[in-house]
Structure 1
Amino acid sequence: MNRRRFLAAAAVGVTSAFAGCSGTPDPVTTRRDHGDWPLHAHDTTNSNHVPAAVGPGPDPSVEWTRRVTDGRRYGYGAPSPVVADGTLYVGGDGLVALEAATGDHSWRAARSEAVYGPAVTDGAVYAGSVDGGVPRVRAFDRTNGERRWTVTYDEVLGPRFRPVVATDDAVYATLNYGTEGSTTPPHGRLDALADGDRRWSIDLGGNRDPAPAVRGTELYLGGTAGSPACAVDVRRGTVERLLGDPPGRNWTSETPISPQVHAVAASDAVYYGGRDASGRVTPTPPVTLDALEEGAVEWQASLGHQVPPPAVTPESVSVVWASTDDGTVTAHVGRYSHAGDRSWTKRFPNRTVWASPVATANSVYVATAAADGPSDPRLHAFDRAGGTAEWSLSLPSPAATMAVAGGRLFVGSWDGSVMAVG
């Protein structure tokens, strides 16, 4: 069996029942050998690492900004841009294609729909969308936005998609929705789609907010309250095992708010980072980060109560977190080896983190904001190996998602805008 390490943070007691459907075995391809950013966390493993690209130079500026949504429909979050062959694709009020260099519009599709994080393959753009309470997953032509196929779900309460994950063989869509009389706690389901057909579907029980990570024939899911982390066989659509020590254990935290736990299946490990469900930083004790190998604790690190998914490279793990130090909320960025050794750390007093870090071959990019609210947002660049500060830039609005391609850093903001830094 391949060596595995499971890194979990900020999760609370979880139990759930799963139901799976059989399907035809198919190979799975992981896409991460290019300088584009085709998926919400770069590749199917959610690595947040693009080794073939470079980011902005030493004196960057915001080159352009475009508003793509007001963010109020169907619980829509921040835009999650993806980039391929010089075009940026982003969901919002419709699916929007922009020239990455200038921000000029190329086309807009599904204008009446709230479109969530897209994914790009060689010929198509895929995204989940909601219109009038009806969720759909659509495939669009990359060149003009024409629809290729649509899978429509039954109408449900409060539907919301996570960014889809597309391999060369299937599109994996995670949908959350509410129950009669209340949109919380929501339910979750995972579907594997191909050429407009549903290969299999799994009822995930309680809220399953994070997007999945795919490596080989296994798909990894994080979770929230009611849903333990698990591994799914993508060929059959069945839950193969629960993750944890013991499997399906209650990851514990002092935080009173149910956290989101996100999977990163890069390198030879499966890593988990978590944040509280509201995205707020609360003055609670720090969370213990557990690294598990074959069910045994390998190493532990005590970080903060806000730990977004890390950026994972073959050599190291770049992590950002927020903690409360002597009553002061402090943002951190640090670098760990895969054995759990921390080589450097930088602190930002009175600031917090919202977005995952993103890494190139030589740099790691971090977004912070004032701890008392979404003010004074900034981007920071550090040398990935040694932690030397490269630059810092003030932003017009807080960063929630980031992507790197073509010498630019693309930022999705909580105000519904997307911007290019170069």
Structure 2
Amino acid sequence: MTESSRRAFLAVCGATAFTGCASLGSQSLSTQSDSADWPLFAHDSKNTGYNSHASGPKSSPTERWRVRTHDLREEFRGYALTPSPAIIGDRVYVGGETFSAHDLSDGSVVWESVGEDAYYGTGFADETLFVATWDKSSETSSISAFDTDGNRKWKQKTGSRRGLAPTIGGSTVYAPSDPKLVALDRQNGNRQWETKTVQPYPTQPSVADAVYIPTGWDGCIARSRKQDPLASVLSHPPKKQWTHDPDGIIRTPPAVGSRYVYAAMSGEWHPDVNPKQPRLFALTSGGKVAWSRPAGTISTTPVVGDGVVFEKTGVFVEKVREAGYVRGRFDAKITAHDAEDGEVRWQRTVDGFGSWHIQPVLADKVLYVPLHEEIGRESRLLALDAKTGETLWNHMLDAPTTHLAVAESTLYVTSYDGILHAFE
């Protein structure tokens, strides 16, 4: 330790003498899992994709309104970079070419903020909106904090070329960045720590009793949510609790249930590269495998609710040559597992619609599943009975889905062509 670091460390300990040094960096375990709104990318910091207070459309949906958030351009290419909305009270907040608030009744603009070249995913906590932004002139991403009237509170660079929707847990904003995870203070944006995530594309962590970070070929890492005093002074990440390395790729955020952490292993885009069978793992709080089941080639984040783990995967079927390119054709496989023992309750396969690996969402015993057929360029939304897997409705879209959210009786859908839809 350098002399300056030692002095800073002693100063921190002195400042916390009445509460104890060990309390530094402690924070609430709030996960927003009981929210009737849709405040985060996958509803809550556990990434469950489940809103227990909502009831979306159970029969063929009607589009109540649509708004355009952006035109398809370089800043938004790739479904991970298309804006994800947050639904709070009577407004929906969404990025795009501006950061805007819309009235839920008709989609009309309440306010909009400009200044960055692109606004990406949005998170909400404590009357504050946190949105990932991109500045072309500096070629870096940032997190900006706004109040609900559109006034900017702070902005902090995360120092990368990609920025995804942040996850908020306790007093920390976790900002997925390329190729690292940056932790910021929720109140002022000050950088708390950062850590490399190994894989070439950023993805959200899951935050519950620990921070669960997917790291590609290095598997899934669990870190403490509390920094010890020295780590805080040096801006080092909290201690690593365990690593789950399945000898494969974990590229999507895990989801946290009442007992287990569910992490999905994926194969490569072309299975010839990695023939190992991908699996869905249920991990204990100590990182031990409670159960695992075979999965498809490419998995999304599991959905967890009502004692069930729903997994959507794309299963590689064949290579297709098209205009000089080789593409893969994937079938979509949706499986409902018992959350305790992994037993398969039901399974559905939709031929050819396994491209685009977007997480489904769950509300009031209905699983809403985004589907896309890359070869024929056909996109659909499928609503399944969560208990039986039976189809409730099947709706065609003009462009593939990039994000889903459900609040009250409305299903909100962002699509790759820059449209935010409200279905009821």
TM-score, with structure 1 as normaliser: 0.81
Matched residue, 1:198: 190
Matched residue, 1:319: 311
2:33 corresponds to 1:37 = no
Provide the rounded CA distance (Å) in 1 between the counterparts of 2:109 and 2:37: 19
Matched residue, 1:183: none
SS in 2 for 1:148: strand
Contact 1:331 / 1:350 at 8 angstroms: preserved in 2?
A: yes
Matched residue, 1:14: none
What is the deviation of 1:360? 1.0
Provide the rounded CA distance (Å) in 2 between the counterparts of 1:358 and 1:329: 21
SS in 2 for 1:43: coil
Matched residue, 2:89: 85
SS in 2 for 1:73: helix
Structure 2 gaps of 5+ residues are 1-22, 228-236, 320-328
2:218 corresponds to 1:215 = no
Matched residue, 1:180: none
CA 395–74 in structure 1, closer or farther in 2 if over 3 Å, else same: closer
Provide the rounded CA distance (Å) in 2 between the counterparts of 1:28 and 1:313: 19
2:297 corresponds to 1:300 = no
CA-based RMSD: 2.6
CA 371–265 in structure 1, closer or farther in 2 if over 3 Å, else same: same
What is the deviation of 1:297? 4.1
Letter in 2 for 1:271: Y
Contact 1:95 / 1:111 at 8 angstroms: preserved in 2?
A: no
SS in 2 for 1:386: coil
Matched residue, 2:141: 135
Aligned length: 373
2:155 corresponds to 1:150 = yes
2:264 corresponds to 1:273 = yes
Aligned counterpart in structure 2 of residue 418 of structure 1, from 417, 420, 423: 420
Once the two structures are superposed, residues 328-371 of structure 1 have per-residue CA deviations (whole angstroms, 9 ceiling, x without a partner) of: 63112121001110111111112215311100131111011224
Letter in 2 for 1:357: P
Once the two structures are superposed, residues 172-210 of structure 1 have per-residue CA deviations (whole angstroms, 9 ceiling, x without a partner) of: 21221xxxxxxxxxx313213221142511231533611
TM-score, with structure 2 as normaliser: 0.80
Provide the rounded CA distance (Å) in 1 between the counterparts of 2:225 and 2:292: 31
Provide the rounded CA distance (Å) in 2 between the counterparts of 1:302 and 1:262: 18
Provide the rounded CA distance (Å) in 1 between the counterparts of 2:186 and 2:336: 38
Which structure shows the higher strand fraction? 1
Aligned counterpart in structure 2 of residue 251 of structure 1, from 247, 252, 275: 247
CA 396–32 in structure 1, closer or farther in 2 if over 3 Å, else same: same
CA 114–281 in structure 1, closer or farther in 2 if over 3 Å, else same: farther
Letter in 2 for 1:145: G
Structure 1 gaps of 5+ residues are 1-21, 177-186, 253-257
Provide the rounded CA distance (Å) in 2 between the counterparts of 1:224 and 1:197: 27
What is the deviation of 1:314? 4.2
Contact 1:281 / 1:352 at 8 angstroms: preserved in 2?
A: no
Sequence identity percentage: 23
Provide the rounded CA distance (Å) in 1 between the counterparts of 2:197 and 2:336: 35
